[in-house]
Amino acid sequence: MSKDIGARTPQEVFADHGTRLGSGDLDLIGENYTEDAVFVTPEGVLTGRQGVKAGIGRLLADLPDADWQLTPQFAGNVLFLQWTARSAGRQVTDGVDTFVFRGGLISAQTVRYTLSPRTEQ
């Protein structure tokens, strides 16, 4: 039996979100957001589940089959996430997201990153 969505902790939502991101299924990913979610990117603000799906879809398209490294820090209903990602030709070394959780879902996310050509280290 599945756990009531409203009873999920931010940590549980985030863990489930990572699993759904790995699937690449934007509809499935969008289910972890509230209907009135706000998704803030450097290019502008996207709203609702459709906006979230569009924003995440762009990120996944920019970094297909990427190797993601995440460092999450929770403070109550807020998550500060530092991340990097490397794909065959591109990389992000300065990704920072902030998530706000409400009722067992994500109600807001701010995404900041710089996409650059991959360099070998």
Number of Cβ atoms within 10 Å of the Cβ of 59: 17
Tokens of 119: 């360099």
The secondary element (H helix, E strand) that includes residue 79 is strand 78-86
Amino acid at 56: I
- The span from the CA of 35 to the CA of 52, in Å, is 10
**pLDDT of the chain, 121 residues: tens digit per residue:** 456 787 899 999 999 999 999 899 999 999 999 999 999 998 899 999 999 999 999 999 999 889 999 999 999 999 999 999 999 999 999 999 999 999 999 999 999 999 999 877 5
Average pLDDT score, the chain: 93
**In this structure, is the dihedral angle defined by the CA atoms of residues 111, 55, 72 and 14, taken in order, positive or negative?**
positive
pTM: 0.90
Digit-coded pLDDT (tens) for 40-57:
998 899 999 999 999 999
